Structure 1
Amino acid sequence: MANIGRLSTKDTVLLLCDMQEKFRPNIFQFTNIVSNAARLLQASRILSIPPILTEQYPKGLGPTVPELGAEGLTAHAKTSFTMMIEAVEKELETLGNPKRAILCGIETHACIACTTYDLLEKGMEVHIVADAVSSRSQTDRLFALSRLKQSGAFLTTTEAVLLQLVQDAKHPNFNEIQKLMAHPSPDTGLLAFFSAL
Structure 2
Amino acid sequence: MADSPTSKVPPPLTADTTYLFICDVQERFRRAIPHFPSVVFAASYLFDAAALLSIPTLITEQYPKALGHTVEELPLPAPGATVVEKTAFSMLAPPPTLAALAAAPARRSVVLVGIEAHICIAQTAAGLLRRGYAVHVVVDGVASQRDADRGVALARLRDAGAVVTTAEAVLFELLGDKGHPQFKAASGIVKRERPVGGITGL
Q: TM-score, normalised by structure 2?
A: 0.90
8 A Cα contact 1:159 1:185, kept in partner: no
Deviation string for 1:131-172 (max 9, x for gaps)?
A: 011111111111111111011000000111111100111100
Residue 77 of structure 1 is matched in structure 2 by 85
1:146-185 matched pairs, under 5 angstroms:
146-183=155-192, 185=194
Deviation string for 1:68-92 (max 9, x for gaps)?
A: 2343344211111100021110111
Equivalent of 1:50, from 30, 43, 56? Answer: 56
**Matches of 1:181 and 1:190, distance apart in 2:** 17
The answer on 1:2 being equivalent to 2:6 is yes
For structure 2, the 5+ residue unaligned runs are none
Query: Which amino acid letter does the alignment assign opposite residue 145 of structure 2?
Result: R
The answer on 1:32 being equivalent to 2:38 is yes
**Matches of 2:185 and 2:75, distance apart in 1:** 17
Structure 1 residues 70 and 151: alpha-carbon distance in aligned structure 2, compared to 1, 3 A threshold: farther
Residue 123 of structure 1 is matched in structure 2 by 132
The answer on 1:106 being equivalent to 2:115 is yes
For structure 1, the 5+ residue unaligned runs are none
**Matches of 1:97 and 1:79, distance apart in 2:** 28
**Matches of 1:71 and 1:32, distance apart in 2:** 22
8 A Cα contact 1:130 1:156, kept in partner: yes
**Of 99-108 and 59-68, the range deviating more from structure 2:** 59-68
**Matches of 1:118 and 1:166, distance apart in 2:** 27
Number of residue pairs matched? 192
8 A Cα contact 1:105 1:112, kept in partner: yes
The answer on 1:90 being equivalent to 2:99 is yes
Report the secondary structure of 2:32's partner residue: coil
The answer on 1:59 being equivalent to 2:59 is no
Equivalent of 1:11, from 3, 8, 17? Answer: 17
**Matches of 2:105 and 2:56, distance apart in 1:** 11
Shift of 1:189: 3.2
Measured on the aligned residues, the alpha-carbon RMSD in Å equals 1.5
Percent of residue pairs identical: 39
* Structure in which a larger fraction of residues adopt helix: 1
**Matches of 2:164 and 2:82, distance apart in 1:** 27
8 A Cα contact 2:34 2:143, kept in partner: yes
Query: Which amino acid letter does the alignment assign opposite residue 66 of structure 2?
Result: G
8 A Cα contact 1:13 1:101, kept in partner: yes
Report the secondary structure of 1:67's partner residue: coil
Q: TM-score, normalised by structure 1?
A: 0.92
**Matches of 2:33 and 2:71, distance apart in 1:** 13
Residue 190 of structure 1 is matched in structure 2 by 200
